Structure 1
Amino acid sequence: MSQLQVSNKPWYKEVTKTQWRALIAAGSGWALDSMDVMLYSMILVHVMSDLQMDQTMGGFLATLTLLSSAIGGILFGMVADRYGRTKSLMLSILIYSLFTFLCGFSQTITHLAIFRFLLGIGMGGEWVAGAALITETWDAKHRGKAMGLVQSAWAVGYALAAIVAGVISPIWGWRGVFFFGIVPALVAIWIRKGTKEPEIWEKMKAEESKQKTKSKPKLAELFSGKVLRWTILGALLSVCAQFGYWGLFTWIPSFLGTPIEQGGAGLDIMKSTTWIVIMQTGAWFGYVLFGFMADKFGRRKAFILFFVMAAILVPIYGMTSDATRLLILGPFVAFFGSGYFSGFGAVLAELFPTEIRATGQGFCYNFGRGVAATAPTVIGFMATSIGLGAAFGFLAIAFGLAALLVLLFLPETLGKQLS
C-alpha cells in the first residue's frame, strides 16, 4: 500500500476537469436512479389500494426490482469491462428511465411487476458503471471523497422522489408520478456527448489491441486465485449492508403514513414528504462525510462506526411514533443507515485488478443486493402481524453482522494505487 502524498492545496483544487466531469456524470445518473426507483415507495400506499395489493405483495414488488437490479449489476459489470464505463452508464440510465415511465401504464399487478423487473436491470447497471468510472478516474487520496459525493446523490434523488410524489400525486395520481420517471433519459444524452473513459481502462484496451486480443471478463475469474477471498468478503458485506438499508428505506414512507394503531406514525402526506426530505438531508451528509472520514482515518474505522450506530438507532426509530421525535431522530438514522454505501465503490475497486474491476464490483455489490432483495418482503410480512415499526428492529442484526465482517476480515486499503 502506497503512502498518500501530502499537499498544501485544498483537495478540490487538485481535481481536474475530467475528474469533475466524471463525478457529475456518475452522480447525476445515481441521483435520478434513486428518484426513479424510490418513486414506487412514495406512492406505494396508493398503488396497493388501486391494484388491490396487501403489504406482502407490495414488498414483493420491491424485492423483484432489487433481484433484477442484481442481475443488471452483474451483467453491466461485464459490459463496462468490455465496452467501456461511459457507454455502460449511458445505457443503464436509458433502461431505468424508460421502464419507470412505462410503470404508469400498468393495469394489473403483473404489468407493474414486469416493468419493475426491467427497471431494475438499469438500476443495477448504473451503480457499477458509475463506480468503475469514478474509482479509475480519481486519484487514490481523493477516491473516498469522490465516491462519497457520488453516493450522496442517492439522498438527493430519494428526497426528489418525495417532492415529485407530493406535488404530482394529488393532481395526476400515482400514474403521473411514474410518467415523470422518463426525465433521466436526457442525462444519458449529455453523458454520451462529453464524458471520457478512464485513462487506465483506455491503456488496457490499447494493450489488448497491440496484442490482438479481446478481454472477455468471466465471473469464474472472481472465484480463483488471490481474489477469491475478496469476492466472498465483498459479497457477504454487501448482503448485510443492503438487507438493512432496503428493509428500512423501502418501507419508511409507508411507516410514516400508516395509522398509529396499525404500527405506523400516522402522518399526513405533506408531513410525510417533509419528514422524508429532512431525513434525506441527514443521509446526504452521511454519504459525503463517510467519504472524507474514509480518506482521513481509513475505510475500516468508518465502516465500523456507521454500522454500529445504525444497529443502535434503527430499532429506536421503529419504536417511536411521536412525530417530533421522528423528525429529530430521522436524519441521524439516515446518516448512519445510508452513509456506509460510500465505501463500497472505493473498497471494491481497491481489492480487484483493472481487467476484472467492474466485474468484481458488479458481482459483489449486486449479489448482496440480490440476497437483500428479500428484505422488503420479509419486513412487509412481519408488518402484517407486529407492525412496520416493530419489524424495523429485526434489521439491527444485519447491521451488526456487517460491523463484525469489517472488524474481522476487511483489510485497510487507504491510499492503495489501482493497477
Structure 2
Amino acid sequence: MEATEVRAIRTQVPARLDRLPWSRFHWRIVIGLGAVWILDGLEVTIVGAIASRMTERGSGIDLTAADIGTAAAIYVAGACLGALIFGQLTDRYGRKKLFMITLMIYVIATVLTALAFAPWYLFLFRFLTGMGIGGEYAAINSAIDELIPARNRGQVDLAINGSYWLGSAIGSVAALALLSTALFPMHVGWRLAFGIGGVLGVAIMLVRRNVPESPRWLFIHGREEEAERIVDQIEAEVRQETGKELAPPGASITIRQRDVIPFREIARVAMQRYPRRAILGLALFIGQAFLYNAVTFDLGTILSGFFGVASGAVPYFMAIFALGNFLGPLLLGRLFDTVGRIPMISGTYFVSAGLTALIAVLFMNGSLTTASFMTLVALTFFFASAGASSAYLTVSEVFPMETRALAISLFFAVGTAIGGITGPALFGQFIHSGNPSLVALGFFIGAAAMALGGVAELAFGVRAEQQSLENIAMPLTAEEAEADPAQQAVLVRAGREAGLSEEGRRQLHERDERIQLRSARRRDWERSGLRRFRPGPGNSFYSPGMAATTGTTSRYAAMADRDRDQEIEDLARAADQQGPVSRDKLEQVVGGRWWGPGRFGAALREAVREGVIKRFSDDKYGPADDNRSS
C-alpha cells in the first residue's frame, strides 16, 4: 500500500493529549474500546461450553465432535485473516472507521450464527465472526494507545488485556443458564448463547459512537485541522468536569505522513536482520496457539465424551479453566520483570509442556477422574497462560518500532494459523474417534509444541526485562541517523533547553538526575531479595487471545517517569504545607483523583518508601521531618 505524501507540520496534539487529567472521556475509551476483550473471552468460552450440546440429538443441528473442532479452527483462521486485512486498513482509513466496521461484522455474523441449521452454515459465520474479532485487535489497540494519557497507558493496557479472562468467567456462568433445559429447550439455549454476543456488541457500538477518531492518526494523515478541533473539544469537556485550567502542554513535534509498511517488508526485516528473533517469535506463537485453541474449543466435548459430564454441567469446569488462566499471568507476571524474560518464558513453556505430557500419559492409561483431569488442566494453563502472554510480549519487544504493530499481526496470523487452526481440527478428529490413545496423542503433540517454544527461548531469547525498547531493537530511522550519536544527543538536549533561562536549565538537569535515580531505585527495590518473587502483574500481563500493539511503550516511558516524579513532588509539597493529614485530604489537595486509576496510591507508596513524606498511621501522612508520634 502506498501512502500519499503530505507536507511536514509542527503540532502539540500528542503533548496536549498526554497531559490531560483522567476524566469521564477516558472511561468512555476504556469501556467503548476495551470491552471487546471481555466480549472475546465470553465468545470463546461460551462457545466451548455449549459445544457438547450442539452434538446432542434434539439440538436442532447435526454436528459431530469433529465438526466442533473444524468450526473452532475456521474461527481462528478468520481471526488471523481479519488481523492481517483490517490491520492494514486501520492504518490507511483510520481507527474509528475500522473499529466500527469490525464490530459490525462481529455483531451481524454472531447473530446469524444463532440461526445455524447445518455444518456448512455454522462454518461460514464462525469464519466471519473470527474476522470481526481479529480486525478488532488492530483497530482497538491502536486507538487505545493513541487516546489514553502516557502516564496511564501501561496500567490501562494491563487491566484491559486481563479482562479477557473476566469475559471467560462470565461466559461460563452464562452458559449454565443457557444450557438448562428447565429454562430453554435444547434447540434454543445454544442459539441464545450466540445471540448474547450480538446484543453485547450492539451495546458496545452505542458507546463507541461517542469515541472520536484518533487525533494522532488524523494529523499524521494530513488532517491536522480536524485533529486540533477534536482535541479542543476533549479539553473543553475535561475543563468543565474538573473545574480547573489545564497545565501547559509539553514540546511540539514535527511530523511527516508515514508510509504504510507492507507485510512483505516486515517479513524481510524480520528474516534478514533478525532471523533468530523471527524463529523465536514463530516457535512461541505456534506452541501456545496449538495447545490453547485445541483445549479451549474442545474441552467441553472431551468432558462430555470421555468423562460423562452432562453438557449442562460443562460451564462449571470452564469457569475453573478460566480461573487458572486468569491467575497465571496475574501472579507470575512480575517475575518476568524481576527474575527475567528467558528463565520465566522458557520455564512456563517447559512446565506446561511437562504437565500436558502428564495429562496425556494418565489419559491413555485411563487413570484420570473428572476432578483430577480438571485439576491438571487448570494447573497446566496456570503456567501456559503466562507463557502465552509472553509470546505477545516478546514479539512486541524484539522488533524495531516501525515494524512492531504489524509484526505482531504477522506473527499472530502465521503462528496462530499453523498452531491455532491445526490444534482444534486435529483434536476434534481425535475426540470424534472415541479412542483415548488418539486424544492422548493430541496432548503429546501439544506438549511437544510447547517444549519447542521453551527450547527456542533458551536458544534465541532476549534479555529484555526493564530495558528500553530502543535498546532491544533500534528503530530503523534512528539507525539511518546514527552517523554521529553524540551530536544527536546534543541536539536533543539543545531542543529541550531552547528558550530556558539559566535557572530553568539547572532545574531541568536536576529533574533529569532525580528521575534517573528514582527509576534506578525503583528497579533495584523491585528486584532485591525475596521481593523479586512477589506475585503481581508486573509489565507482562497480556491476554493470550490478543495481538497487543505495544509499540508506544518505550516512547512514553520517560514521560511516565516525569509524571511520577511530579506527582511525588506534589505530595511532598502538600505534606509540608498541610502537616499531618488524612489520606483522603492529601488526595484532595493534590488533585489525585485526576491522575488516573491507582496512580495516587502508587505515588503515595513510593513517596513514603523514599522518605519524601512520612506515614504516621494507617490513614495519616505528613512531612518527612515531622517527629510527632503516631
Settle same-fold status: TM greater than 0.5: yes
Q: Distance in 2 between matches of 1:93 and 1:162?
A: 22
| Structure 1 segment 3-402 matched on structure 2, within 5 A | 27-49=34-56, 50-85=60-95, 87-132=97-142, 143=154, 148-169=158-179, 170=181, 171=184, 172-182=188-198, 183-194=200-211, 197=214, 204-205=220-221, 213=257, 215-225=259-269, 229=275, 230-258=277-305, 264-317=306-359, 319=363, 321-372=368-419, 373-383=421-431, 384=433, 386-387=435-436, 390=440, 391-402=442-453
C-alpha displacement of 1:206 = 6.4
Q: Distance in 2 between matches of 1:155 and 1:48?
A: 26
Identity among equivalent pairs (%) = 23
Residues 216 and 353 of structure 1: is their aligned pair in 2 closer, same or farther, counting only changes over 3 Å?
A: same
C-alpha displacement of 1:241 = 1.5
Q: Distance in 1 between matches of 2:387 and 2:96?
A: 25
C-alpha displacement of 1:24 = 5.2
1:411 match: secondary structure: coil
Match of 1:416 in 2: 468
Aligned letter for 2:408? Answer: Q
Aligned letter for 1:245? Answer: Y
> Contact 2:220/2:255 (CA < 8 Å) preserved in 1?
no
41-50 vs 205-214, greater mean Cα deviation: 205-214
2:307 match: secondary structure: coil
C-alpha displacement of 1:103 = 0.4
> Contact 1:81/1:359 (CA < 8 Å) preserved in 2?
no
Residues 195 and 242 of structure 1: is their aligned pair in 2 closer, same or farther, counting only changes over 3 Å?
A: farther
Q: Distance in 2 between matches of 1:232 and 1:16?
A: 41
Give CA deviations for 1:252-305 in whole Å, capped at 9, x if unaligned. Answer: 1111222xxxxx222234542222212211211113234433333333333222
Aligned letter for 2:39? Answer: L
79-88 vs 50-59, greater mean Cα deviation: 79-88
Unaligned runs of 5+ in 1: 1-14, 259-263
Match of 1:6 in 2: none
C-alpha displacement of 1:246 = 0.9
Residues 398 and 389 of structure 1: is their aligned pair in 2 closer, same or farther, counting only changes over 3 Å?
A: same
Residues 22 and 365 of structure 1: is their aligned pair in 2 closer, same or farther, counting only changes over 3 Å?
A: farther
Give 1 or 2 for the bigger CA radius of gyration: 2
C-alpha displacement of 1:398 = 0.9
Residues 16 and 313 of structure 1: is their aligned pair in 2 closer, same or farther, counting only changes over 3 Å?
A: farther
Residues 135 and 193 of structure 1: is their aligned pair in 2 closer, same or farther, counting only changes over 3 Å?
A: closer
Q: Distance in 1 between matches of 2:27 and 2:301?
A: 37
Counting matched residue pairs gives 398
> Contact 1:140/1:416 (CA < 8 Å) preserved in 2?
no
> Contact 2:50/2:175 (CA < 8 Å) preserved in 1?
yes
Residues 151 and 304 of structure 1: is their aligned pair in 2 closer, same or farther, counting only changes over 3 Å?
A: farther
> Contact 1:135/1:349 (CA < 8 Å) preserved in 2?
no
Give CA deviations for 1:30-55 in whole Å, capped at 9, x if unaligned. Answer: 12022223333222222234432322
Aligned letter for 2:70? Answer: F
RMSD: 3.3
Unaligned runs of 5+ in 2: 1-20, 226-253, 470-553, 556-630
Match of 1:11 in 2: none
> Contact 2:55/2:62 (CA < 8 Å) preserved in 1?
yes
Give CA deviations for 1:74-110 in whole Å, capped at 9, x if unaligned. Answer: 1122233334455544433332232111101112211
1:45 match: secondary structure: helix
Q: Distance in 1 between matches of 2:434 and 2:313?
A: 26
Aligned letter for 2:435? Answer: I
Residues 204 and 116 of structure 1: is their aligned pair in 2 closer, same or farther, counting only changes over 3 Å?
A: same
Instruction: Give the TM-score, by structure 1 length.
Output: 0.82
1:250 match: secondary structure: helix
Q: Distance in 1 between matches of 2:281 and 2:145?
A: 16
214-223 vs 82-91, greater mean Cα deviation: 82-91
Q: Distance in 2 between matches of 1:412 and 1:86?
A: 36
2:63 match: secondary structure: coil
Give CA deviations for 1:134-180 in whole Å, capped at 9, x if unaligned. Answer: 6676869984x665533322222222222222212331322122111
Which has the larger helix fraction? 1
Give CA deviations for 1:169-206 in whole Å, capped at 9, x if unaligned. Answer: 3313221221112112322332442477496x677556
Q: Distance in 2 between matches of 1:343 and 1:25?
A: 26
Match of 1:4 in 2: none
> Contact 2:220/2:257 (CA < 8 Å) preserved in 1?
no
Q: Distance in 2 between matches of 1:350 and 1:19?
A: 26
C-alpha displacement of 1:66 = 1.0
Aligned letter for 2:266? Answer: L
C-alpha displacement of 1:133 = 5.1
Residues 300 and 187 of structure 1: is their aligned pair in 2 closer, same or farther, counting only changes over 3 Å?
A: farther
Residues 41 and 99 of structure 1: is their aligned pair in 2 closer, same or farther, counting only changes over 3 Å?
A: same
Aligned letter for 2:125? Answer: F
